Structure 1
Amino acid sequence: MKLNFEQLGDLAVGAAFLGTGGGGDPYVGRLMVQQCIHEGCEVEVIDPQSLDDDSLVIPTAMMGAPTVLVEKIPSGQEAVASLKRLEKRLGRKADATMPIEIGGINSTIPLVVGARLGLPIVDADGMGRAFPFLEMETFGVYGISGSPMAVSNEWGDCALIEAVDNRQMEWLSRAVAIRMGGCAYIAEYAMSGADVKRTAIPNTLTLAIRIGEVLRKAHEDHQNPIEALLGFLPSTLYRYGRVIFKGKIVDVMRETKAGFTMGRARIDGIAPFSSSMDIEIQNENLVARVNGEVKAIVPDLISIMNTETAEPITSENLRYGQRVTVVAVSVPDIMRTPEALAVFGPACFGLQEPFTSIEELA
């Protein structure tokens, strides 16, 4: 499938929704891909099942604080440089690239890399959403090493990291990204086509496009976009979603710390919802509570949407006074296994509450 401008617009909206507040503003990435198409490049997305088992796939992405990305716009060459450096280290050319996460700008960075280098982009990723840490990948959960990895910035600097495990890879590369100004561009988790099919969450790029399309068409047909979205989800790997709160944002605390956007948001309820909801943020929305009671918790998705437009709001764009609807969505089963929860469950973020699915919380 070769992407067109309308699909890019839908992808930006769908990726913002799946990003649960994190992953960076996909609007920036959308403009970068549009520029590639204007220059005559093609953006080809392929199904993971079409990969040869011995193909080499090198995922590419941005890492760092989304708040930094607002003021430090990439050219698109940074992630290209990282992929080329990793190819040199591996002694082999990549057959394709792929997102490490489907949320935010990282749904589009691989599209830019693929367009610039003439590589197809695999319709899959390793998070099914966005997470703040690089070890939080289904790739790693199911046995793929993230190292060696390459980290590049806009000045042409590039670091090659070879770590003993994926957590150490995250720790070392985070320090490099901070030295590079708070965000950098990476190539990591190089793997075979067989490993992509075994460890990746399939067809998430086309899912993001479909989410954006559902919201857009509901607007065009004068229907409720959020209701349309919730009606669509049961036909996907994300089988269940519901509105868990509606209200007005009355407080946002946000700071860039240790290479992340850290903070919280408080939402005062609007009927039929009373009281207030507090949402903890580390790049992404981690847990939503009302009067201390958990309403949704990582890894399930917590997406804050503009009530009037149904546009998902990323963490760096939360503002006092916004009227919002908070939607929680279940993640695919591959992300709820004991092995997966040991890598990106609540305890991995220092949260005291155990993981409870939104179906149970309902």
Structure 2
Amino acid sequence: MADTLLTRADLPDLALGCAVFGTGGGGDTAADLLAADHALAVHGDVPLIRFADLPPDSLVLPLSMIGAPTAGLEMLGSGREAVTLRAEVERATGRPVAAVMALEIGGANGLAPVGWAAQLGLPLLDADGMGRAFPELQMVSMHVMGIPADTVFMVDALGNTATLRPVDSAWSERWARALCVASGASALIADYQLTGDDGHAVIHGSVSRALRVGRLLRTAERPVDALVAELGATRLMTGTVEDVVRDTRDGFVRGALHVRGHGTDQGRRITVDLQNENLVAREDGTVLAGVPDLIGVLDTETGIAVATEALRYGQRVTVLAWPCDPLWRTPRGLETAGPAAFGYAHPYVPVGSTHPPVGSTTPAGSAVHERQSAR
């Protein structure tokens, strides 16, 4: 069934890769690296499988933490959330769970499912719903492909559980976010329950790719250069963190990062907007890159990604941008997680290009760098 086993030796590299694809979000990997290592030490290695390995009617459990990454740093989970959530899902559906899938490959949300799978005695799917990290529940490939989030399961660190039956994916985000805030802005969630027949609706190879990127960072003589080549990334700036503005509210971390260039970038300044993840990079009002493409803030020497909640004044960083999965560049993908979905007025311009794709427009009378005040 599986020709790959995830072992304790793989976890540090997987953590490095997931941090890169987290684009600042998904949660800091440090605590979850320890938790996953303990889970594998106790329960054994985790089979990494493909959707094609599953029977068509088998039940898949996509898992992720929901909330503000800053809250996750201060409030650790109980360690029993995944067990509780699985029991709730099986009770509600009357079916056994066959496999775990990371809802997003970014940050702790890409790494923690390895530990949860070990704890539950289940395989992990080499797939996810984003190919990166996004802050809102409806911003997943399953929503883009028309699979409804009609039942959402949640559990918090105290063991409070909830089963939500929203009318659509947008309401799943609103309801779940409200409960998450009530639980201290951190909870475990399972939505978009899938079957083995739903492989068309996910992004394949995510875990393997994150593992490969992590190994590259650990072994490369020039990690940032190696990452640029591996990802097909554009180097936006190398410089120093000049200021970080962060505010934890409504279950998100929101704010901005300001980087002052040095070396060949001397005299330049860029701003990166934050909503858990790095959303848009701008210089003098001009958009350099933005969602749904990926923006990473990396330590200039090691290439290790710096999470939103770990940004500090004086850090020497390199800001990269690279292309998202092609699914996000479709009209439905851009509607779900493009600039307008975050309240921006500018059109989506693919990283490395100077022209917006067909169907990506700027509202009349809007400046391309203006963020709409409705969000």
TM-score, normalised relative to structure 2: 0.91
Secondary structure of residue in 1 paired with 2:61: strand
2:235 aligns to what? 243
Please tell me whether residue 24 in structure 1 is matched to residue 27 in structure 2: yes
Distance in 2, matches of 1:329 and 1:48, equals: 26
Shift of 1:229: 1.7
- Letter matched to residue 55 of structure 1: S
2:72 aligns to what? 69
Alignment of 1:64-143 (within 5 A): 64-143=67-146
Q: Is the 8 A contact 1:58 1:187 kept in 2?
A: yes
Shift of 1:52: 2.2
Mark the runs of 5 or more structure 2 residues left unpaired by the alignment: 356-375
- Letter matched to residue 216 of structure 2: V
1:326 aligns to what? 319
Shift of 1:172: 0.2
Distance in 2, matches of 1:84 and 1:139, equals: 23
Distance in 2, matches of 1:44 and 1:80, equals: 18
Per-residue deviation, residues 54-91 of structure 1 (Å, max 9, x unmatched): 22111111000000000111233113312221221111
Distance in 2, matches of 1:243 and 1:49, equals: 37
Q: Is the 8 A contact 1:12 1:26 kept in 2?
A: yes
Alignment of 1:133-282 (within 5 A): 133-195=136-198, 197-218=199-220, 223-233=221-231, 240-273=232-265, 274-282=267-275
Distance in 2, matches of 1:320 and 1:232, equals: 29
Secondary structure of residue in 2 paired with 1:325: strand
Cα RMSD for the two superposed structures: 1.2
1:347 to 324, 340, 350: 340
Shift of 1:38: 1.8
Secondary structure of residue in 2 paired with 1:272: helix
Relative to structure 1, the CA distance from residue 38 to residue 116 in structure 2 (aligned partners, 3 Å threshold; closer, same or farther) is: same
Secondary structure of residue in 1 paired with 2:55: coil
Distance in 1, matches of 2:230 and 2:245, equals: 33
- Letter matched to residue 287 of structure 2: V
Shift of 1:2: 1.5
Relative to structure 1, the CA distance from residue 133 to residue 61 in structure 2 (aligned partners, 3 Å threshold; closer, same or farther) is: same
Shift of 1:361: 4.1
Distance in 2, matches of 1:60 and 1:210, equals: 22
Identity %: 40
Distance in 1, matches of 2:304 and 2:328, equals: 25
Per-residue deviation, residues 6-53 of structure 1 (Å, max 9, x unmatched): 311011010010010000012221111100122133322112222222
Secondary structure of residue in 1 paired with 2:264: coil
Distance in 2, matches of 1:164 and 1:71, equals: 33
Dislocated runs of 4+, deviation >4 Å: none
2:293 aligns to what? 300
Secondary structure of residue in 2 paired with 1:355: coil
Q: Is the 8 A contact 1:83 1:186 kept in 2?
A: no
- Letter matched to residue 42 of structure 2: E
- Letter matched to residue 257 of structure 1: R
Q: Is the 8 A contact 1:241 1:330 kept in 2?
A: yes
Distance in 1, matches of 2:227 and 2:107, equals: 18
Aligned pair count reads 351
Per-residue deviation, residues 132-164 of structure 1 (Å, max 9, x unmatched): 000000011101122311110111110110100
Please tell me whether residue 286 in structure 1 is matched to residue 279 in structure 2: yes
